[in-house]
Copies of this chain bind each other. A is one copy, B any other.
Amino acid sequence: MVKVRAHSNIALVKYWGKRHIPLNIPAVGSISITLDALYTDTAVVFDPSLTEDRLVLNGIPAKEKESRRVSAFLDRVRKMAGRDDFARIESVNNFPTAAGLASSASAFAALALAATRAAGLTLSPPELSVLARIGSGSAARSLFGGFVQMHRGERDDGRDAYAEPLYKGDYWPLRVIIAVTAEGPKKTGSTDGMEHSRLTSPYYEAWVSDSQKDIDAMREALKNKDFERLADISEYSCLKMHALAMSGRPGLIYWNDRTLELLHWVRARRAEGWPVFFTIDAGPQLKVICPEDYGERVGALLREHPAVERIIESSLGNDARVMDE
């Protein structure tokens, strides 16, 4: 039995759009931060006595759709390891699933590491990242802690589309405060939303061709620990991604009224000189980022804000790692 912990992550330079759907190859690169407070623990053991894979999620036998997705992923691992036995998989998120918070990133990062180790494979970090990516695009980044860059890659087989760690979390301690504005799953998932944008938005090509500039600028901002640049690039990339989704036909709007109220709140604080900025994924929750030593003040204000259902606070997290073997 191999038990692995992998953390969730949030892209600051956003990923939106795939250049190959079955292999989850992204059309653009991205840069993310890994969240200490949100993680998945996954245990995998291959068992020759089984006649099929057995998946237990948060203590409950998984539904057919989830089981099939995981078994398809394990088929890849089996093929790489040259074996054909089935596995028991137990996976627990320490944060609510179906709460509009990305959970497939930490889940497939944990599964990729646990399953390959349990199958007797030792993959290089890029190989492991490519594998996790096939499970879920953002999972490729969750293998690494701190600040992570996902490469778009150029190859058709996706082997150069992997994530690479840039800096550890303690290089530049940041605080992330997730303002939950609405519970419950979103109407349009990321994969469907991305494809809708690619097929229907007149802005899609410009989104793709403009993205490398943001990656380069973000790398520079990280190198110089330039918070203003970090904030500018992150908000720009976030709004550009949501603008892309919004310009499809019909336009996808992932925000609710509270998301927008909080966005304006963060902008107002930033205009007053606070080192704080927002980012939003394909859902209604607003993530507020500030230096670690501002976290308490910002968290306290957001906790009391009438547009906030509840908050989840996090520092930057570590690499995915084996907890038990």
Contacts and interface: CB of A to CB of B under 8 A. Distances in A.
B235 A243 contact: no
A207 B244 CA distance: 12
A32 B302 CA distance: 42
Identical copies of this chain, number: 2
A257 B203 contact: no
A156 interface: no
A1 interface: no
Contact of A236 (B205, B250, B263): B250
A275 interface: no
Nearest to A213: B202
B253 A247 contact: no
Given A202-B206, A202-B210, A206-B206, A246 B242 contact: yes
Interface string A256-270: 111111011000000
Interface in A231-250: 232, 235-236, 239-240, 242-244, 246-247, 249-250
Contacts of A210: 202
A172 interface: no
A315 B62 CA distance: 56
B264 A251 contact: no
Given A206-B202, A243-B244, A263 B253 contact: yes
Nearest to A270: B250
A255 interface: yes
A256 B258 CA distance: 10
A280 to B, nearest CB: 12
Contact of A246 (B202, B243, B249): B243
Given A242-B243, A246-B246, A257-B258, 16 more contacts: A202-B210, A202-B240, A203-B244, A236-B249, A239-B247, A239-B251, A240-B247, A243-B243, A243-B246, A243-B247, A244-B247, A253-B260, A253-B264, A256-B264, A257-B257, A257-B260
